[in-house]
Chains A and B, each alone.
Chain A
Amino acid sequence: MHFEKTAKFKGSSDYVASPELIEAVNISLTLEKPLIIKGEPGTGKTMLAQSIAKSLNMPFFIWNIKSTTKAKDGLYFYDTVQRLNDARFHDRDITNIKQYIKFGKLALAFMSEEKAVLLIDEIDKADIEFPNDLLNELDEMSFYIPETNETIRAKHRPQVIITSNSEKDLPDAFLRRCVFHYIAFPDYELMKEIVEVHYPNIHGELLEKALTLFYEIRKIEDLKKKPSTSELLDWIRVLMISNYDAKRLSMKHIPFAGTLLKKEQDLEYIKRRYAHF
């Protein structure tokens, strides 16, 4: 069995990863399996891959997924139009088809001379079948190009990091091949740090009162959409700009509530339940 000592990820200077997240990365490095990171937007999923590449000194490739992305886009694209153009204007020797094969990010990560980190960002944006279409390439770490009769094989199995905002659920067959980590919503202490990074000058009392109220609101089960980090940051900014008196913050009195709660029903609900806005 070849369990070589794999390089360990410890977080990088500009990215503070939670111990659990570091652990997830190291498990996926050990098992040589893709790591799926799921969590609410703004929990630093995308930053993570960058940080791994940086701290382990590995080449880094990002494959951003859109709703129209096909699995093949990650492999290659045969630029026939360029070839036609070259033929017409005699710019280049067109007999070599290889020069018209443009590689996608997955292929580039395969072909990297050193072990690379590949970020497949927001995989859930693509069609429901997209992850399944990738299974074969990720398993075999190779693919075939009929146009040039070539098989591209990974020199080193790239470390694949996949992020998902859980818009769509991923297929089981795909999940089985991955290590999975869910980034839980930041707790009070961590959130305090996050806010302080954004607003270093924030008044201590305002920060504490606002956070307490924020978590109280998040506890309400019936909300259609719970406020998340970005809403909290916006809200705190408005509170700071308006020089709001922190002492007046309470469930009965949520100023600029529209910044926190984006759904009309939620605003109504809180209004009804706690009255006298």
Chain B
Amino acid sequence: MTLLGFFYLLRQYGIKVTTKEWLDLYKLLAVGEISSLDDLYYKGRKVLVKSEKLYDIYDKAYLDFVQAGGDLKERLDEILSFMEEGLTAKDKAVFEQLDLHEILERLTERLLNQKEKHSGGGRHIGQNGYSPFGNAGAKRDGVRIGGESHHNAAFMVATQRHFKNLREDVYLDTRNIGVALKKLRQFQNIGREEEVDIEATINKTAENFGDIEIVFAKERKNNVKLLLLIDNGGSMEIHEDRVERLFSIAKGLNYFKDFKHFYFHNCVYDFIYEDMEHGKKLPTERLFKDFNPEWKVIFIGDALMSPYELHNSWQMIYRYEKKGKTGIEWLKLLKAHFRSSIWLNPISYIQWQHQTVKAISKIFPMFPLTISGIEAGVKQLLKN
């Protein structure tokens, strides 16, 4: 596998290395900072991997790369040797004329076009060419060939997979959720009440040499009130981490005019819970009284249940009495009460064919509990 293969391997593994970052690696090669596979591991990590959560994935990709094929060593030696040979006079002339930006841009272009190893000629990155790429600058600093490493051998380190514990669900990370939720905003600009912008007033007044000029600013506060209704049923346990993260971020953002949350079990019945563990509950009716239709509602649940749990009432299920509203009736009432509501579902799309998931997604616009799902859901919430 070629060095460029490593780039694609990393991307395949989900480390979204950009061309710019890859060029940083080439720059390090060019100045002779990387002269062994160990250097490649340690120094490559510093310019290509920007989160310790990805270190474990990087270890795996590196192992794959090293184990990929016998020609790897040769390939690296090849890079090293043409750096060692340095530049010919012709190279130098071409090279001196170009400035760094241009070289990088052209290298990018070549990298994207280059499909196979290339020798000679002036266009591609390869050996014996007068292209400034690949070997540029090598002579200036000299190349440290086979320089000793103060590290443990990278291969051994990678095999030990030290960073396994740092790995998280990298796709739904805290920041991404925060950013997605922050789009859930409607700035309050209406009404006659305006507030004094103290800082601007002081500035204006000072600029006027003391003639007081009061600056009014329209209050710009997020007017969104958010109600989270979270399924805490047994089948949700495996999604607990993701749900918890979303919840704690929504709460921690301190971004909404008001924020409340309740739990339910499988489906909404006569009661919702403030605290599932201690059974602190209140009648679902209260939602209609205490929360006006302005509240934006996000349900989080897998919507997976036995059909009778959706189409029967709580009393029917647990007390065998034929009375009370059924789960689906409750959901329809909630949908009718609130002007905008969505359902975020943590299970994979394939399972959305399930009968109860289908039924519920007919009531609430349903989105997957992923970053793009949350983003789409937020857009939906702001529509109405």
| Residue B84 is within 8 A (CB to CB) of chain A in the complex | no
Q: How large is the interface on A (under 10, 10 to 19, 20 to 34, 35 or more residues)?
A: 35 or more
Chain B residues positioned under 8 Å from A195 (CB to CB): none
Q: How far is the CA of A191 from the CA of B162 in the complex (A)?
A: 17
A218 to B: closest C-beta gap in Å: 10
Choose from B51, B103, B137, B203 the contact partner of A175 (Cβ within 8 Å).
B51
Q: Is the CB of A80 within 8 A of B173?
A: no
- Is A38 part of the contact surface with B, judged by Cβ < 8 Å? yes
The stretch among A25-33, A53-61, A198-206, A238-246 that forms the contact with chain B is A25-33
Which residues in chain B, 290-322, are within 8 Å of chain A measured between CB atoms? none
Is residue B93 within 8 Å, beta carbon to beta carbon, of the partner chain?
no
Query: Using Cβ atoms and an 8 Å threshold, which residues of chain A touch B103?
Result: 1
On chain A, the residues within 8 Å of B162 by CB distance are: 184
CB distance B21 to A169 under 8 Å? no
Whole-angstrom CA separation of A20 from B182 in the bound complex: 37
A5 touches B175 (CB 8 A): no
Cβ-neighbour of B179 out of A20, A38, A81, A128 (below 8 A): A128
Q: Are B209 and A84 closer than 8 Å at their CB atoms?
A: yes
**Which of B2-10, B25-33, B123-131, B256-264 forms part of the interface with chain A?**
B25-33
A27-B33, A31-B28, A80-B207 known; A171+B175 contact, CB < 8 A: yes
**Does B377 touch A at the CB level, under 8 Å?**
no
B307 CB, min distance to chain A CBs, angstroms:
37
**Residues of B with C-beta under 8 A to A83:** 206
Give Cα distance in the complex from A181 to B42, angstroms.
10
Q: A80-B203, A182-B55 are in contact. Are A27 and B50 (CB under 8 A)?
A: no
- For the complex, give the distance between the alpha carbons of A175 and B31 in Å: 23
Size of interface on B: residues with Cβ below 8 Å to A: 49
> Please, which residues of chain A bring their CB within 8 A of the CB of B151?
19-20
Determine the residue in chain A with the shortest Cβ distance to B173.
A169
Q: Considering the chains assembled together, what is the distance between the CA atoms of A88 and B24 in angstroms?
A: 56
Rounded to whole Å, the gap between the CB of A156 and the closest CB of chain B is: 16
Shortest distance between the CB of A97 and any CB in chain B (Å): 10
Q: How far is the CA of A3 from the CA of B33 in the complex (A)?
A: 12
Query: From B203, which residue of chain A is reached at the shortest CB distance?
Result: A80
Write the residues of chain B forming the contact surface with A, with a CB cutoff of 8 angstroms. 16, 18, 20-21, 24, 27-28, 30-31, 33, 42-43, 46-47, 49-52, 55, 95, 98-100, 103, 132, 136-137, 140-141, 150-151, 162-163, 165-166, 173-176, 178-179, 182, 202-203, 205-207, 209-210
A interface residues, Cβ below 8 angstroms from B: 1-3, 5, 19-20, 23-24, 26-27, 30-31, 33, 36, 38, 78, 80-81, 83-84, 87-88, 128, 166, 168-172, 175-176, 178-182, 184, 221
The 6 closest A-B pairs by CB, nearest first: A169-B175, A80-B206, A175-B50, A182-B52, A84-B206, A19-B150
Known pairs A1-B98, A169-B174 / 19 extra A-B pairs, C-beta < 8 Å: A1-B137, A3-B137, A23-B42, A33-B24, A36-B50, A80-B206, A84-B205, A87-B209, A88-B209, A128-B175, A168-B175, A168-B178, A172-B50, A175-B50, A180-B47, A180-B50, A180-B51, A184-B162, A221-B165
A-B residue pairs in contact (CB < 8 Å), sample of 20: A1-B103, A1-B136, A3-B31, A5-B140, A20-B42, A24-B46, A26-B33, A27-B43, A31-B24, A36-B50, A81-B206, A84-B205, A84-B206, A84-B209, A84-B210, A87-B210, A168-B174, A169-B174, A176-B18, A176-B20
